[in-house]
Amino acid sequence: MMTEIHWMAATGLMTALFWMVYVLNRFAVIGIPASLGNPNPEHKPLSDWAQRATAAHQNAMENFPIFAALVLGVVALNLSSSLTITLSMLYFFARLAHFVVYTLGIPVARTLTFALGWVVQVVLALVILGVV
């Protein structure tokens, strides 16, 4: 059975792999040799979808430490429950969906998937604070 720590690790791994999507576009746009070199302002920009994937990855990296701190707090305080495990799983899928819809350029879905991840963070914090 997956625990909060497992879902946190899966989310961390997923976040660590997101770069691969837009690097493939970089290879196609400027070539592999140039992609392996230092960034150059003279290089052609990435495709729109790859720029969105880059932004989605950045957003995932910004939000992961918050999620990780909350999961570690739940575990350290021995507050693990079916609710916190479900929330951790929900966070994983919300962030996966966020990356996909952001990359595809679906604005309302992007906002909703981001909001779902944020709600998970809030509820985990409320569990730690003893409110839920």
Q: Convert the pLDDT of each residue in 97-127 to its tens digit.
A: 999 999 999 999 999 999 999 999 999 999 9
Task: Report pLDDT digits (tens) over 63-97.
Answer: 999 999 999 999 999 999 999 999 999 999 999 99
Domain ranges of the chain: 4-128
Beta-carbon-side half-sphere exposure of residue 60 (alpha carbons within 13 Å) = 31
Summarised one tens digit per residue, pLDDT across range 43-69 is 999 999 999 999 999 999 999 999 999
Q: Selecting from 1.20.120.550, 1.10.150.120, 2.60.120.10, 3.50.50.60, what CATH number does the domain 4-128 have?
A: 1.20.120.550
Q: Give the predicted TM-score (pTM) of the model.
A: 0.94
* 39 has a pLDDT exceeding 90: no
